[in-house]
Amino acid sequence: MTAVDLTGRVALVTGGAHGIGSAAAHRLAKLGARVAVVDIDAEGAERVAAAAGGLAITGDVADPATMPAVVARVEQELGRLDVVLLNAGIGGGQAGIDDALDADRYRKLVGVNVDHVVYGLCAAVPALRRQGGGKIVITASLAGLTPMPTDPLYTLTKHAVVGYARAAGAALADDGIVVSALCPGFVDTLLLGAAKEEFDAVAFPLLTPLDIAEAVQTVLAEGEPGQAWVVQPGGHTAPYRFRGVPGAGGQRPPEIVLGHA
């Protein structure tokens, strides 16, 4: 794990009240950053921010007004923004493959797992540009790289954010803004729910929030624009190697900007 010095820098963590977000907030503070902890759980955000010596902000990240307000408050109270961890996420909770779809739960899932990432990145980019660049890490999942038949809707959202990180990373690279996706395997957090007992019954190795916090540090130190980093038990954290898409005759197609001549 490569050392990172964030002294004098400001970091923002969504979903920071529990699990991965809490561990990451503490790690960023340990690296020297002042940390803004954002969560819909006001008490949890206050607790983590107090322990990390940072700023607690309460809000629903799926609301399009929340992330612009969060970034504005961070700049106003902490003076700048350098590192953003878009970590808030929830599980699908339904199959999403038949006519029993609960549309309200589906919209909530997409709102937290996908919309919040778009809102957060769009709000953060102007602030990062004002500092000459910065880092954005999006918490995705291995379900963003491979299908998870037990939760197709969760798979959908995580594939979406991996694709978004890859494209946004390339688009923002010239601004000195490095966008990366973090794709952990199964992590021992509340998101596992009842499945935790099944994993324990077969002694399936689970990652811990601390493992992911360490992976965040690695990505901040070594990540390149648009990479998706795989995190698995045993300390394996590395960028995923995408094969690319062959064009006609097996040749890779040229870069094309849709909607432009």
The reported pTM is 0.90
Counting the structural domains of the chain, the total is 1
Long-range interactions of 142-147: CB distance < 8 A, separation 24+ = 142/183, 142/184, 142/185, 142/230, 144/181, 144/183, 144/228, 145/183, 145/228, 145/230, 145/240
* Residue 179 maps to a domain: yes
CATH code of 187's domain = 3.40.50.720
* Residue 46 maps to a domain: yes
Copy the structure tokens of residue 39: 């969560």
List active site positions.
154
Predicted local confidence at residue 233, as pLDDT: 87
Domain that includes residue 226, residue range: 10-250
pLDDT per residue of the chain (261 residues) written in tens, 0 to 9: 678 899 999 999 999 999 999 999 999 999 999 999 999 999 999 999 999 999 999 999 999 999 999 999 999 999 999 999 999 999 888 889 988 899 999 999 999 999 999 999 999 999 999 999 999 999 999 999 999 898 899 999 999 999 999 999 999 999 999 999 999 986 666 676 666 666 566 655 677 889 999 999 999 999 999 999 999 888 678 999 998 777 766 666 565 554 443
* Residue 3 maps to a domain: no
Local structure of 232: helix, strand or coil: strand
* Residue 53 maps to a domain: yes
Predicted local confidence at residue 226, as pLDDT: 97
Predicted local confidence at residue 208, as pLDDT: 85
Predicted local confidence at residue 200, as pLDDT: 63
Predicted local confidence at residue 14, as pLDDT: 98
Predicted local confidence at residue 180, as pLDDT: 98
* Residue 261 maps to a domain: no
